[in-house]
Amino acid sequence: MKFVDREMELSLLNDLFQRRSAQLLVLYGRRRIGKTTLLTHWLSGLEGRYFYWVATQTSTVNQLRGFSQALYSFLNPGSRIDPTFSYASWEAAFDEIHRAAAQERFVVILDEFTYIIQANPEVSSILQHAWDHQLKERANVFLILTGSLAGMIQRHVLDYQAPLYGRATGRIRLRALPFGALVDVLPRYKADQRVAVYAIAGGVPAYLELFNDNLSIIENLQQRIVTPANIMMEDAVFLLHEQLDEPRNYMAIIEAIAAGHHTLSDLARMAGISRTHISKYLGVLQELGYVERQVPATVRRPQKSRKGRYVIVDPYMRFYFRFLYPNLSFLERGMQQQTISLLQDHLADFIGTHTFEELCQDWITVQADLGKLPFLPDRVGGFWSPQAQVDVVATSWRTKNILLGECKWVQGKVGRGVVRQLAEKSERVVPKGDWKLHLVLFARQGFTQVAREEAGALNATLVTMEQLEKDLYQWMKGRPHTTSEQ
């Protein structure tokens, strides 16, 4: 897969490199999100000296020896090195970096630094001492620490109590690629096919690489996704086991959400966890970006609302626990048919219920950012109650403006009835008071002429899938490229 997006991250790397002072950058994010690819791409165009070393999950003695031998070989090219050679300590190793940066800019990348502190937590304190007393005084030093274990990076580097707190001069939390990036990743596909891929893989580069846009979505699923050797088949469980101390409880919660349970009491009951403790687990899942607590967008103070529901917002996790996890016993034996049949029957509904609605909400947020909405919303989300459900809702309590949107992921053009139904829902959704109403409809395959006429009469905006993708793509390309933190 060709390198796409990441302009903001590259801009920050270049900015820090060009500064005439010591720099410490922390780059972190989930496994397979593209941290190594980002750094490799940046280094390929770098005019300067750099040392790149990747830690492994081994003993602290082996890590120090591996780092020592790699650094010594880098600083002394062509020299023979004893296979048992190692610096006496991490202090000595960091001192060697200090000496190596005496004459020119020296980039040092410790990839998967979290594996080092996982084996020896004291290394973060050792590095803190080395930074405070040596490295930060050496203007040529540019140290980059990366990690896939986000919780460990938080505890040992970013938290107030962490040894390295306050030392980082830059921070990048690398996130999944935005939907707009798929235009460049899978250029032969149509817009709705790219939405299907995003519903399956999200914006995780390693998963997107599995797709071939010369094949249909079902062909990709049969040949590349729903197969025992596919990395997507085991990554969900691996991610939870790698990042969490009690993965079974987190697994039970995600399974319950995927099965359609969304309230705190229902999740506690289905997962077999007391209500006293389940909030802690849900908080961690929210920090990791797998789960989100959503409240109707018409609620003015969502933090205090009891109307919250918990949903899986990570596209890959959502797809995995809906379609792959329930059929693992078959898939691990190479038996695909049950899963493929399930996908053929339910994938379209799955996309329309989750991914397409989220992308429509993203479109509203982008339009607001560009100043193209008639008002600036405080909140963008959805609405649900026993009386009505609306896919997209944006509100501004300050100006008393509200936008209602309907998303239709159906074959064929959307007719006039859908436009009328959205207008009729407003009476059951709009809060009491003098509000100004705006209507937007989104459709996978466009609208009939009579629907357009009805929309014109109601002053409603109509957005096709192609227009939505184009707008999200152009916004992605036009984002500011200078940032101090991602």
Cβ atoms within 10 Å, residue 57? 13
Do residues 393 and 262 lie in contact, with contact meaning Cβ atoms separated by under 8 Å? no
CA–CA separation, 131 vs 316, rounded Å? 38
Tell me the CA distances in angstroms from 264 to 207, 281, 317, 384, 438, one per residue in order: 31, 11, 20, 17, 33
The token pair at 363 is: 């479109």
Kindly give the interhelix angle for 191-201 and 465-478, rounded to the nearest 10 degrees.
70
Name all domains of the chain by residue range, CATH numbers in brackets. 7-173 (3.40.50.300), 180-353 (1.10.10.10), 371-478 (3.40.1350.10)
What pLDDT sits at residue 357? 98
What pLDDT sits at residue 61? 96
246-304, pLDDT tens digit by residue? 899 999 999 999 999 999 999 999 999 999 999 999 999 998 899 999 999 999 999 88
What pLDDT sits at residue 280? 93
Query: Which residues in 258-288 are b (16+ Cβ under 10 Å) and which e?
Result: beebbebebbbebbebeeeebeebbebbeeb
CA–CA separation, 292 vs 252, rounded Å? 16
Do residues 345 and 233 lie in contact, with contact meaning Cβ atoms separated by under 8 Å? no
189-217, pLDDT tens digit by residue? 999 999 999 999 999 999 999 999 999 99
Kindly give the interhelix angle for 247-258 and 275-287, rounded to the nearest 10 degrees.
90
What pLDDT sits at residue 150? 72
Residues of the chain with pLDDT under 50: 482-486
What pLDDT sits at residue 484? 40
Look up the pTM and report it.
0.92
